[in-house]
Amino acid sequence: MTGRSVSQRMLTLSSAGAHARAGLTARVQDADRPWQVEAQAAWRPVRGLTLAADGRHAAYSGSRKGDRAHLAAGLALPLGFSAHGDLAWAHDLQDPLVASDTAQKITDYSGALRWDRGRSAIEVGGARRDPFAPIGRPTGLKPFVGLAPTPRTRYLTVHASTQPVPGIFLSGWYFNPLVEGGNDFEPPYHARLSATFYTKFWRVYRSGIFALRLELAAESWSRGTAGVDSLGQAVLLPGATFVESNLEIRVAGVTIYWIQRNTNGFRGSYVPGLDYPRRFQFYGVRWAFTD
């Protein structure tokens, strides 16, 4: 390995007002990424409506170029409802350091409708992602030697939370690549549920000086794929269910925590061929203070 010296320069211009802001950034980097220009803007034309956009044009070594653009919008609706959406477009490289890498064109979009009222909230969303062919491969991870190309995929997502009684919080999310596609390490029917007990009792002390948090959560998914093997065949990602617990006690700025992963002792893993420890636990103390 030989050493090298790299010089980078950046210039940013920005302006902000009561209902809008905009910025422009120019970067001069290394030989593989000689320069790029980024722009951002956000605008709130009327109350309850927010618009935002950002884009980038980059020059790479070998006379290669890349472009990205992103649009986002959020709208507040009556009765506690709101909606938001995103549109992303790119004709760009994955890794400019790989001389053989060429630009891929993709268009992805997503949207969601949310209801938030009092102690409960639920959001249902969907997305669509264009086909994508990853380059490179992981090293030292068996039995898979690479990732399969991603087909055009649609997604369904659900997030929900509620506080049925004071001190008890329930939350969860659900993620499902629909039958149109699916990606490695994105199994269908993937969900996580969490139940949390949180209290600030012992009111003999100054409010907030003592707190107790106890959480029990479970994450589960069905069978999926985990890349391809040396023959180009898909590697199966088995279904799994992991349980974890988290206990925290806070006294003033000191938090004592004890976290246990895979509490149920499930004999599985996130990556085929790599065992996940059973009842793996770690604990410690965090101290936040100011001078």
The rounded radius of gyration (Å) of the Cα atoms in the chain is: 24
DSSP 183: B
At residue 59's C-alpha, the angle toward residues 55 and 62, to 5°, is 150
Please say whether the beta carbons of 215 and 196 come within 8 A: yes
Please say whether the beta carbons of 196 and 169 come within 8 A: yes
Reported as a single tens digit per residue, the pLDDT across 217-260 is 999 988 888 888 777 788 888 888 999 999 998 888 888 999 99
Nearest to 97 by CA among 70, 62, 148, 143: 62
Please say whether the beta carbons of 151 and 131 come within 8 A: yes
Tally helices (H) and strands (E) across the chain: 0, 17
- Reported as half-sphere exposure (CB side, CA atoms, 13 A), residue 78 has a value of 0
- List the end-to-end C-alpha distance of the chain, in Å, as a whole number: 44
Q: What does the pLDDT read at residue 67?
A: 96
Q: What does the pLDDT read at residue 11?
A: 94
Please say whether the beta carbons of 113 and 83 come within 8 A: yes
Is residue 7 within a helix (H) or strand (E), and if so which, with residue range?
A: none
Q: What does the pLDDT read at residue 208?
A: 63
pTM over the 0.75 mark = yes
Out of 6-15, 47-56, 72-81, least confident range = 6-15
Token pair listed for 134: 């990853």
Reported as a single tens digit per residue, the pLDDT across 155-195 is 999 999 999 998 899 999 999 987 565 688 888 899 999 99
Q: What does the pLDDT read at residue 60?
A: 92
State whether the Cα torsion 19-112-187-232 is positive or negative: negative
> Are β-strands 81-92 and 104-117 bridged in parallel, bridged antiparallel, or unpaired?
antiparallel
**What span, in angstroms and rounded, lies between the C-alpha atoms of 238 and 15?**
51
**What span, in angstroms and rounded, lies between the C-alpha atoms of 201 and 166?**
12
Q: How many CB atoms lie within 10 A of CB 130?
A: 18
